Structures are given as C-alpha cells and as structure tokens.
Amino acid sequence: MTSTDKSAPNEGAGEDIGDAAGASNAAGHGEPTTGEASKAQAAAPAAESGADAPAAHSGAETPAADAQASEAQVPESSNAPETEEAQPQPSRLSSSWGWIAVVSAIALLAAVGVASWGLGYWQAQTKAQQTQAAHIVGPGNTLTGLQDIPRRIDGDPFALGPVDAPVVISEFSDFECPFCAVYANQTEPEILERYVTSGKVRLEWNDMPINGPNAHLAAQAGRAAAAQGKFWEFKHELYAAAKDKQGHPNNSLEDLVGFARQAGVQDLDRFRHEVEDGTYGATVDRALAVGSMLGVNGTPTFLIGDKVVSGALPADELAKTIDAQLDKAGAPAQD
C-alpha cells in the first residue's frame, strides 16, 4: 500500500387511321368527232385484211393511244389524305409510377436528413455529457458520514455496476501506485465476476494521486479518457503495463497516449491536448482534497458499505467483507 508519506444501419395507344377516305376520280370519255370516226373506219379494213406486220413507229400517236395515255396519266385525287404515322401516347400508369418514385425519393431524403440531424444532435449531447461527467468528484451528497461517500450517479464514467446496487465499493487509488496495480490485475477481475456482474455490487473510482507529479498527470489522463467514454479501458491498459515493473512506473505523457491508443480512445489529439493543457488539473486537485479530508492516507483504500479496508488484499479476503456488507444490506451473500 502506498502512503502519503511516500508521495511521488409504352406502349402508345395509337389509334388506327384506316383506309384513305375518298376514291380517285377516273377521267370520262366523250363521243368521237366526225374526222376521228372516218379515220377509224379507214383503219378497220386494214385490221380485217389480216395484215400481221407491225406498224412502223412514225412518232405520231393515234387518238385511241391518246385516250389510253390520258387514262394512264390521270393522277389520283388530291383529296385523299396521307396516312399519318401513329404517335406514341404517354402511359398513365408509367406517369403515375414516376410521380410515386419522385415522392418516395423526396421522403427518403427527408428521412435521411432528419436521421442525420438526430444522430449529430445525439452525438453532440453525448460528447457534452461525457465531458461534463469527466469532472465528477465524490462524495455524492453533503458529507455527514461514511454512508454519503458513494456517489450513485447515473452516467458516472468512473463507476461499474447498477446505481441501486445493495453495496458500493468506493476505491481510492493512484495510477503510480504499485499496490494499486496488484489489486487491479489480480483481485479486481474476480470481484467484477463474482459481485458486479450479478448486480450486487457497484464499483466507484476516486482519484487519490499521492505519488507525485506523474501520478497527478496520470489522473488527468484517466479523466481525458473518461471524456471519450474509455476510462475503464485506459485504467486496464495502464495497470497491465505496470504489473511487470518494480516500484513506481513513472509513466510519461507518451506512455499515457500509448495507453489511450490501446484503450480505443478515438480522438488522440484531443486526449493529448487535454492532458497537456491541464483541462482536468483542478478537478484532480479537488479529488485529492476530498480523499485527504476523508482521512485517506494510503492507496489503495476501499470503503465497502460502511467498512474501510486498506491494501491490495486477495479476492477471498476482500470477499469476506463484501459478503458481510451484503448480509447487512439484506441482500443474499455471494458464493
């Protein structure tokens, strides 16, 4: 135990036009003139004589030929309309589906916009809440006795277990304390498994940096990790790195940034800035003052229910005090 004395998610509906309306006008033929009849009579004996020789082409056409040519050259009546090509008509069904698609797209965009706004608002609120919570310092009430030390605050980033657990263990520890590292690596995992996961016990961390400037800086780093929801992960990485070291680990700023990276702290630049800038320096000072006022002079120190226990005790030894406090609170003791 470290003591203050040893500080460091189309088909067109085209209508048929039909056949062309109006028949073509045929040219009429009148009675032949007297001259024309004489010529025709003169030609008749020749035709009857049975002369088979073809007539020589003289360049002059007969009236009969004129009439035939006239018939052949009569144009079709200009009154017959030309057949129009069927024009495709828009499908009402396709048009309706088009409007439905447009409306659906607008609705989808609106929904996405609202969801994005909602997510952004939630993220901003969460960030603000986490930042504020990183400044939490116990006790939870006006101090009149040991029963007022537990905070029992919803959203406390330094606590594990239900707010209304029958027993609260208030831990006062130092990130530079080798005995705190022993407790964190050997005893705490068993306490979590046996009591916290069952909802019988709640753990609440309290900064007690009595081992000099490095301890104070590490406490600030723990709060910078808490501001991003990673306090317990940061704590685990820091103490795991200390288990093979003798004495105080003397963690530097770069060491602390490394633990934050391993813990999954998302914004490492923010983390580094808050530690270097002393964002949580005054808060750590208040936590230290509270611990001193309560008479804590060594780490780790635990308040289990209403009983104070000091030192890195084995899990079985600590369990005896926890079971007794559970019985006193009217809750069944754990095996």
- Residue reference for tokens 């008479």: 295
Distance of CA 301 to the CA centre of its chain: 43
More confident position, 250 or 113:
250
d(CA 239, CA 219): 13
pLDDT in tens, 44-63: 434 333 434 444 444 444 44
- The pLDDT of residue 20 is above 70: no
- The pLDDT of residue 332 is above 80: no
d(CA 156, CA 222): 13
Q: For residue 189, what are the contacts with CB-CB under 8 A and spacing of at least 6?
A: none
d(CA 109, CA 130): 31
- Residue reference for tokens 């101090």: 143
Name the strand (E) or helix (H) holding 114.
Answer: helix 92-133
The pLDDT value given to residue 111: 56
- The pLDDT of residue 164 is above 50: yes
The pLDDT value given to residue 155: 94
Degrees (nearest 5) of the Cα angle 283, 157, 261?
Answer: 90
The pLDDT value given to residue 22: 40
As given in the structure block, the two tokens for residue 326 are 């559970």
The pLDDT value given to residue 97: 64
pTM for the whole structure: 0.65
What is the rounded average pLDDT of the residues 219-243? 98
Distance of CA 264 to the CA centre of its chain: 19
The pLDDT value given to residue 51: 39
Cα 9 to Cα 112, 114, 115, 116, 123, distances in angstroms = 12, 15, 11, 12, 16
Contact 332, 326 (CB under 8 A): yes
More confident position, 301 or 113:
301
Q: Which of 180, 154, 151 is nearest to 302 (CA)?
A: 180
pLDDT in tens, 84-127: 555 555 555 555 666 676 666 676 665 555 554 454 544 555 67
The pLDDT value given to residue 69: 40
The pLDDT value given to residue 298: 96
| pLDDT classification of 129: cutoffs 50, 70, 90 | confident
The pLDDT value given to residue 294: 93
The pLDDT value given to residue 78: 45
What is the rounded average pLDDT of the residues 307-334? 93
Contact 182, 148 (CB under 8 A): no
More confident position, 24 or 256:
256
